[in-house]
Amino acid sequence: MAGLCAAVAPMVLSRLDPGADALKLCLWISAAVAAGALLLAALFAHRITKDRRQIAQSEERFRRAMKDSAIGIAVIGLDGRILEANPAFAAMLGYSREEIEALTFFQITHPDDLQIGRETMDGLKAGTVDAFQFEKRYLRKDGTPVWAHLAGSVIRDEKSGRPLYLVSQIENIDARKQAEARIAEAETRWNFALAGAGQGVWDLDMRMGGTTYSSTWVRMLGYADGELDGDPAHWLTMVHPDDREIVAEADHAHLDGKTPFFEAEFRMRHKDGRWMWILDRGKVIERDAEGKLIRAIGSLTDITRRKEAEERLAVSATMLADEKERLRVTLQSIGDAVICTDAANRVTFMNPVAEKLTGVSGSEALGKMLGHVYWAVDEETGHRIGVTRPAIGSQASSDQNSRAVLIRRDDTRCSIRQVVSPIMNERNEFCGLVIVFQDFTDARALQRQLAYAAAHDALTGLANRSSFIRTMEELVDQVRKDGTTVPAGGSAHQFMFIDLDHFKLVNDTGGHVAGDALLKRVAEAIRGVLGPEDIVARLGGDEFAVILKSGSAARAKIVARSIIDAIAGLDFTWDGHPHLIGASIGLAAIGANCGEVDEIIASADAACYAAKAAGRGCVSVAPDGVDNKTEPSEPLAAAS
């Protein structure tokens, strides 16, 4: 304004026509004022530039502090909008800065904590709040809550004092909150565990004047809270007289530093007069300079049920020991061999009979795997007889075997009969095996003799009639299953009925002893002609039967002639008298269309009768098939 006035003044004076000196002076003054005005304007411009630079630097420092801060910083409008947020705050909630600055504080606040923010805003607007700090939960972008500590202040207009916005510092305290929750939960569990386990806590503090007990414990003894607190020696008067001395000794030993902690089990009187078993554990945690007790802490546990269970267990153990001894004596005394194993198949017991049969002493066998001591195989197959645990979930039952053979270490064998029984506990878990076995060698030999005698002719050793009929029935059934017919099939078996000629004369002249000797020779002759798969039997008297396993009818005729020749060629002499006999043979095919066994035998018998009628010493073939039985058979001359 001064410069403007200095510029206008000469123009005004020129119109007023002042003197030259006055005009000159006025021009000098105007120039000086204009120069001063320009200098002042330059100073003001410099100051404005400097202030703007400082403001820019201040803003840069603020933004740099926000950006580099490890905790969240946010500028919040009075309407709750997030005007500006630093990366730490955005990262804490899983947003980008652009995403979070488009939200309000109410949108990212946990619903249960919205009231805290509203109350703060109301206080700011009312002018009652200038600074604030509290804890609240935010919601991350994925919806999970996170605990934060807020500390901030209100930025107000310098002249009017009107609140403009808020600046908040937000610290993530979620880990601390979770740790506090875990501690609180652990403390709650600990308190419940103490109460549930029948445990109490005592605290002896000489500076506080005595002992205090937890409420859980005093209630278990039938007292009210605080009723037992006070005298540190009072608890000892409640201990059973028989246990008092032991408890006092343990207490003194710990107080004197001889033991690292105090521990004792004793009986304590309940308020109603009954006795409770107590487990008391404690430890001195503070002593004075002279080593005297200042403070000790410990726990008291109700172990009455455990003690009662131990007493019952002791009685049961005694009874079990007696029963075990009776069982041991019984097993030592019985005549059967007994071996016991555990679940891992290791030998745990052997009685003397088992030691004798296996050839292994009990002391040597204990702890060894069963296979090192007992090895049983099947008598017929030679395969090892397994003695393993039953399958899980299956019914545990004994396994009997009457055809086992025990192989000893020296490779000698012993026929045995064994019974293997699994041992199951009350939870149906496998615990081991009991193997009971007997020396069955003589009985097995007798069985074999009886079985042989039941199936063989006592005189000739050939199959007898009953066993031969059973074998033939099996063959007939098999042929029917195979569907082999005669004469179309070439694989049918052939049945041969043999009747001796002139045998009665030997019995009449030489007696039955001579006849028996001759029958043995005949059996050997027939057996010598047949193949290893063919079957021969003595049906009775001087009648024999043969099953040729080959299905060839031509072979059957050749074999029949060979049998006749072998019997005719026997050089049999008895008491110096030679005897000549012969044989007549009837042949019948065994096929699916040949009828039952008795029909086949009858057909061959009829053919044999026809051979005898034809002059003896020849072979006659029965008609093929049951429907052709009436056809005449043609006898075949036999070479002699």
Active site positions, annotated: 542
Q: How far is CA 374 from CA 38, 361, 479, in A?
A: 125, 12, 45
State how far the Cα of 201 lies from the Cα of 299, in Å rounded to an integer: 4
Q: How many CA atoms lie within 13 A of 289 on its CB side?
A: 0
Tokens linked to 442:
């003589």
Q: Are 171 and 149 in contact (CB under 8 A)?
A: yes
State how far the Cα of 347 lies from the Cα of 432, in Å rounded to an integer: 9
| Residue 389 CB coordination number (10 Å) | 18
The pairing of strands 376-378 and 199-205 is unpaired
Sheet containing strand 145-156, strands side by side: 82-85, 72-77, 163-172, 145-156, 131-139
Q: Are 351 and 331 in contact (CB under 8 A)?
A: yes
The pairing of strands 582-590 and 619-621 is parallel
State how far the Cα of 375 lies from the Cα of 372, in Å rounded to an integer: 7
State how far the Cα of 436 lies from the Cα of 334, in Å rounded to an integer: 11
State how far the Cα of 472 lies from the Cα of 534, in Å rounded to an integer: 12
Angle between helices 441-455 and 465-482 (to 10 degrees): 80
State how far the Cα of 442 lies from the Cα of 553, in Å rounded to an integer: 46
Three-class DSSP labels, 429-485: CEEEEEEEEEECHHHHHHHHHHHHHHHECCCCCCECHHHHHHHHHHHHHHHHHHCCC
Q: Mind giving me the DSSP string for 320-357?
A: HHHHHHHHHHHHHHSSSEEEEEETTSBEEEE-HHHHHH
Residue 269, helix vs strand vs coil: strand
| Residue 409 CB coordination number (10 Å) | 11
Q: Are 409 and 384 in contact (CB under 8 A)?
A: no
Go through the chain and tell me how many residues it has.
Answer: 640
Identify the CA nearest to 373 among candidates 435, 329, 299, 445. 435
Backbone angles phi, psi at 592, to 5 degrees: -65, -20
The pairing of strands 376-378 and 347-350 is unpaired
Max Cα separation, the chain?
A: 207
> In what helix (H) or strand (E) does residue 196 lie, and over which residues does it extend?
helix 174-196
Q: How far is CA 264 from CA 194, 250, 258, 342, in A?
A: 18, 7, 15, 38
State how far the Cα of 325 lies from the Cα of 316, in Å rounded to an integer: 14
State how far the Cα of 519 lies from the Cα of 50, in Å rounded to an integer: 148
Type of residue numbered 360? V
What one-character DSSP code corresponds to residue 440? -
